[in-house]
Amino acid sequence: MSLLLAPWTRLSLLVVLLVAAGACVLVYEPQRLLSQGWPAGLPVGAAVLLFAGAYGLCTAAFVPRPLLNLAAGAVFGTWPGLAAAVGGTVLGAGISFGLGRVMGQEALRPLLRGRWLKAADAQLSGHGFRSVLAVRIFPGVPFAAANYLAAVSRCGWVPFLLATALGTVPNTAAYVIAGASASSPGSPAFLVSFGFIAVSGAVAAAVAWRGRHRLAGPAAHEPSPVHPPVVGAAPHGP
């Protein structure tokens, strides 16, 4: 029993679980199932809840969120689709965060030794809500990676979930609106949403590039230490 509870045993089980989930995604393509086959007589509220639950499971299994958001807009329209997508986003983030916290944190925390990992851990542990909110608004970090990095840190549950719910709304809404108006690609709604997606992607890339060079800058320009002369050293030569 103690072997099953060992940190590295739990981490190994988590890796196996995630690999199996990724394989199922590649085989079954659940993002297509979410946009098809809904019972015709199912009430809208129940359908939104069911979709959000399936969305959360798919997100935890590494299905790309843009595909799920487009499907939400295509199935439900703008507002119900946004509710389903945001609810599923929070659920999927919570599943990933819980798995990482229970099965991976204890084994991985001693490995946080690199400059980037230490900086990210310090931000998430000390400023959880602000850090997660920034990552969600400017998604330079992949969604699943951010979930598990936050889980390994000491970020709390409430700041993580609240920042996820608030920070993912703008980008999620753009994809949902694009999915809802995909049948009329010349409409203002589709053009505005597509433009927002393009601009947010460019901003995210710029932020990630700037952050990378900001972290690498001090190490690249740090002067080499100058050793002072040794007092009382014997002179060279005869």
Residues 62-80: pLDDT tens digits? 899 999 999 999 999 999 9
Residue 66 CA to residue 171 CA, distance in Å, equals: 9
Q: What DSSP state is assigned to residue 153?
A: T
Total Cβ atoms within 10 A of residue 136: 23
pTM above 0.85, yes or no: no
Under the phi-then-psi rule, with left for phi > 0, alpha for psi from -120 to 50, and beta for the rest, what region is 62? Answer: left
Span 165-221, pLDDT tens digits: 999 999 999 999 999 998 888 889 889 998 888 888 787 777 667 666 555 554 444
Instruction: Tell which residue, 235, 160, 173, 170, has the closest CA to residue 204.
Output: 170
Domains in the chain: boundaries = 7-34+43-217
Span 46-58, pLDDT tens digits: 999 999 999 999 9
Residue 29 has pLDDT above 90, yes or no: no
CA–chain centroid gap for 46, Å, is 27
Contact 85, 68 (CB under 8 A): yes
The tally of CA atoms less than 13 A away on the side-chain side of residue 57 is 13
Residue 6's pLDDT is 74
Q: Alpha-carbon torsion 168, 213, 147, 59, what sign?
A: positive
Q: Using alpha carbons, list the distances in angstroms from residue 98 to 103, 159, 226.
A: 8, 14, 48
State both tokens at 82: 């946004």
Total Cβ atoms within 10 A of residue 109: 13
State both tokens at 130: 């602000």
Contact 161, 129 (CB under 8 A): no
